[in-house]
């Protein structure tokens, strides 16, 4: 008898388990869909709420089932019991739309809320329709602006690649100049476009100047070269002004880079004082890279035979970045011109600081292409200079 009772108990437990488990799964339904507003824009961060209470006032109504929309306006609801439901869309506490829905056991239904439908628009007040038209206009303008920006980003990508490819040979980038001119015309308030327009003009000026040199023509006598450099500096200035203005100015590094490019353009155009001022502007805007900018200034001044000014710029570069080799080389190059000959030993005597500058350059850049020449210069200071003229025998 005990064995029979145990067997019956096991059967009842088994029956309870088998019957209970699938009951909730079989007696529920699921719903999914998409929500967009009257302007056709997806409604994200809203709630799609379900209730069978259709008689209570809206403020008193309870919604036992609620499902959020994602950023794309999509939602999914599961575990909803069968019944006749009022389904509403609530955004920021405001009911935006509603529909009626009947669910049966096992249903998986699609329920979209498209507020562009005619009956929804007709139910709007005149004020709401005016707001809708304003919203549609703004959305249209935003879409157009985004399309323009996407096109400009593609242009920037193409131009950047072209400039990189043309740089080693100073190739022709006139097509890129045209593209960037169209870009700044399309969106004249974007500083980054003006800076890149300046880059193309600078590169094209260098291309024309290179061709002039190959033909034996002085580039500074070529009006086309001078115009490209002049237009480039104007574009850089425009870009800097835009990058520096507004509630969200560009990062100092970007603005300083634009100053540097303007300095290069002035330098190539032979406008040394303007170039020097631009490099100073770069160094002050981004002190973290001041060593590079002062070095560029020193190179420009040295190439223009303004040696005292070049030495001063090189010393500023060393002061802010003592591990940059270039300024030491320039310091040595300026100082070596002040070398003298010892009348007693007839040996070349370097001015104070010259040997030290060259040695520091070699210490920092032993494999630099200029290193062999610097070593020869240093070796020369230990040699006796023959200062006597010996005429040949008659």
pLDDT in tens, 298-335: 999 999 999 999 999 999 999 999 999 999 999 999 99
Mean pLDDT on 53-67: 90
- Give the range among 149-153, 174-178, 222-226, 317-321 with minimum mean pLDDT: 149-153
Note if the pTM is more than 0.85.
no
Structural element, H or E, at residue 355: helix 354-364
Mean pLDDT of 342-359: 91
User: Does the pLDDT value for residue 391 go beyond 50?
Assistant: no
Our measurement of the distance from residue 37's CA atom to the centroid of its chain's CA atoms, rounded to an integer in Å, reads 33
Q: Which residue has the higher pLDDT, 90 or 150?
A: 90
Whole-number pLDDT of residue 387:
47
Lowest mean pLDDT among 17-21, 91-95, 131-135, 235-239: 17-21
Q: What is the CA radius of gyration of the chain?
A: 39
Q: What is the pLDDT of residue 154?
A: 92
Q: Do residues 285 and 244 lie in contact, with contact meaning Cβ atoms separated by under 8 Å?
A: no
pLDDT-based confidence at 15, cuts 50/70/90? very low
Is residue 333 within 8 Å of 302, Cβ to Cβ?
yes
Mean residue pLDDT across the chain: 88
- For residues 23-53, b (16+ Cβ closer than 10 Å) or e, as one string? eeeeebbebbbbbbbbbeeebeebbbbbbee
Q: What angle is formed at CA 183 by the lines to CA 179 and CA 185, rounded to 5 degrees?
A: 120
Residue range 132-163, pLDDT digits in tens: 787 677 766 666 666 777 888 899 999 999 99
Q: Are 262 and 243 in contact (CB under 8 A)?
A: no
pLDDT band at 278 (very low <50, low <70, confident <90, very high): very high
Specify whether the CB–CB gap between 324 and 288 falls below 8 A: no
According to DSSP, the β-strands at 94-103 and 65-68 are: unpaired
Per-residue confidence (pLDDT) for residue 392, from 0 to 100: 43
pLDDT at 394 over 50: no
Domains within the chain, CATH numbers bracketed: 29-125 (2.60.40.1120), 323-388 (no CATH)
């Amino acid at each position: 008898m005990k064995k029979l009772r145990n067997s019956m108990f096991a059967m009842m437990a088994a029956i309870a388990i088998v019957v209970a488990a699938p009951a909730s799964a079989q007696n529920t339904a699921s719903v999914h869909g998409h929500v967009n507003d009257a302007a056709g824009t997806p409604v994200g961060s809203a709630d799609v709420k379900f209730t069978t209470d259709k008689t209570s006032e809206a403020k008193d109504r309870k919604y036992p089932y609620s499902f959020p929309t994602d950023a794309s306006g999509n939602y999914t609801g599961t575990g909803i019991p069968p019944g006749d439901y009022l389904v509403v869309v609530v955004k920021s506490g405001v009911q935006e739309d509603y529909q009626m829905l009947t669910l049966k056991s096992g249903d998986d239904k699609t329920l979209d809320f498209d507020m562009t439908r005619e009956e929804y628009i007709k139910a709007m007040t005149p004020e709401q329709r005016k707001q809708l038209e304003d919203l549609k206009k703004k959305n249209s303008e935003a879409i157009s602006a985004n399309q323009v920006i996407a096109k400009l980003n593609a242009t920037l990508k193409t131009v950047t690649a072209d400039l990189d490819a043309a740089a080693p040979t100073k190739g022709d980038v006139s097509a890129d100049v045209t593209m960037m001119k169209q870009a700044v015309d399309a969106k004249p308030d974007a500083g980054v476009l003006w800076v890149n327009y300046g880059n193309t003009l600078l590169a094209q000026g260098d291309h024309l100047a290179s061709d002039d040199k190959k033909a034996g023509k002085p580039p500074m006598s070529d009006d086309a070269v001078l115009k490209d450099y002049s237009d480039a500096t104007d574009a850089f200035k425009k870009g800097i002004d835009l990058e520096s203005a507004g509630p969200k100015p560009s990062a100092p590094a970007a603005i300083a880079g634009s100053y540097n490019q303007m300095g290069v353009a002035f330098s190539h155009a032979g406008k040394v004082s303007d170039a020097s001022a631009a490099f100073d502007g770069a160094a002050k805007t981004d002190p973290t890279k001041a060593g590079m900018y002062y070095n560029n200034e020193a190179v420009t001044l040295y190439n223009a035979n303004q040696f005292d000014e070049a030495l001063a710029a090189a010393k500023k570069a060393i002061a802010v970045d003592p591990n940059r080799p270039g300024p030491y080389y320039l310091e040595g190059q300026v100082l070596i011109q002040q070398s003298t000959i010892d009348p007693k030993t007839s040996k070349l005597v370097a001015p104070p600081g010259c040997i030290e500058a060259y040695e520091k350059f070699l210490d920092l850049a032993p494999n630099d292409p200029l290193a062999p020449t610097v070593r020869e210069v240093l070796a020369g200071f230990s040699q006796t200079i023959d200062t006597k003229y010996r005429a040949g025998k008659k």
